[in-house]
Amino acid sequence: MREFIPAAVRKAISRRTVRFRCCGRLSPFSRRFGYDRGLPIDRYYIENFLNNAASVVRGHVLEIGGNEYTKRFGRDRVTTSDVLHVEPGPGVTIVADLQSAPDINSSTFDCIICTQTLQFIFDTASTIRTLHRILKPGGTVLVTTAGIAQIARLDAARFGEYWRFTGQSLQRLFEGIFAPADVRIETYGNVLTAAAFLSGLSVEDLRPDELSFRDPDYEVTVALRARKSL
């Protein structure tokens, strides 16, 4: 009988079977956030957020860790691209610790892209002050952080992994430094995507309507857009 079932149907049945087995497992399908199955669920949310905010990715842009999102969402609006990391490496143009970074001049960047970084930095308030300081007046920082997520074991061993944020906590932290009217929060996720993400499933294991539904009680990814006042 198997040969009479279309391949697409077999694939859909297989994915549904995997999903319904999540609750009976003591280990995840993937410990790499689903990268070995497809696109991680949190990356789907991050990319949606950045796509909606793409108009501010312009001018002199700083991205933490790499410049993939600068190139993807900034396109021809970016005049200068810098990459910051705490350690030297390929493509890194600025080696600095965001908790202080005294060597970076104030009012340097039109946009800063800071995805999935704050949970690895212990002094969050100092980091936000640095982000505010190095932004130009009128510039924007785009931030995403882990809400409901597994520990990133390799990064935790290298840098430490200290925090999980809610929309309320991230908003309050940024409103202590940026003008409250210039801080906007979005949260992404629902009970299904939270369970799937923790189980190591990927975007390919879910339907678009399941991914797009938002339940404020299940914040898989917390995203923030903050503008520095003129």
Q: Read off the pLDDT of each residue in 119-139 and give the average, rounded to a whole number.
A: 98
Residue 81, in any domain of the structure: yes
Inside any domain, residue 3: no
pLDDT reported for residue 18 = 60
**Residue 22 placed within a domain:** no
pLDDT in the model for residue 13:
43
Distance from C-alpha of 15 to C-alpha of 21, rounded to nearest angstrom: 10
SS3 state at 201: coil
What is residue 7's predicted lDDT score, i.e. its pLDDT?
58
pLDDT, one tens digit per residue, over 29-70 is 999 999 999 999 999 999 999 999 999 999 999 999 999 999
- The enclosing domain of 176 has a CATH number of 3.40.50.150
Closest Cα partner for 43 from 144, 174, 194, 159? 144
In this model, does residue 17 exceed pLDDT 90? no
As a whole number, mean pLDDT of residues 78-100 equals: 97
129 pLDDT band (50/70/90 cuts)?
A: very high
Structurally, the chain folds into a number of domains equal to 1
| In a domain? residue 118 | yes
How far is the C-alpha of 175 from the C-alpha of 190, rounded, in Å?
A: 26
| Any domain includes 77 | yes
Banded pLDDT at 92 (limits 50, 70, 90): very high
| CA atoms 40, 44, 45, 46: torsion sign | positive
Q: 212 in a domain, yes or no?
A: yes
**Has residue 109 been placed in a domain?**
yes
Report the percent of the chain where pLDDT is more than 90.
Answer: 89
Instruction: Determine, yes or no, domain membership for 194.
Output: yes
Strands (E), the chain: 59-64, 78-85, 94-95, 109-115, 135-146, 183-188, 221-227
**Separation of alpha carbons 118 and 223, rounded Å:** 11
The domain of 115 spans: 28-227
pLDDT at 25: 81
The per-residue pLDDT for 20 is: 55
8 A C-beta contact, residue 170 and residue 193: no
Q: Distance between CA 164 and CA 157 in Å, rounded? A: 17
pLDDT for residue 76: 96
pLDDT in tens, 151-198: 999 999 999 999 999 999 999 999 999 999 999 999 999 999 999 999
For tokens 């979005």, name the residue.
Answer: 186
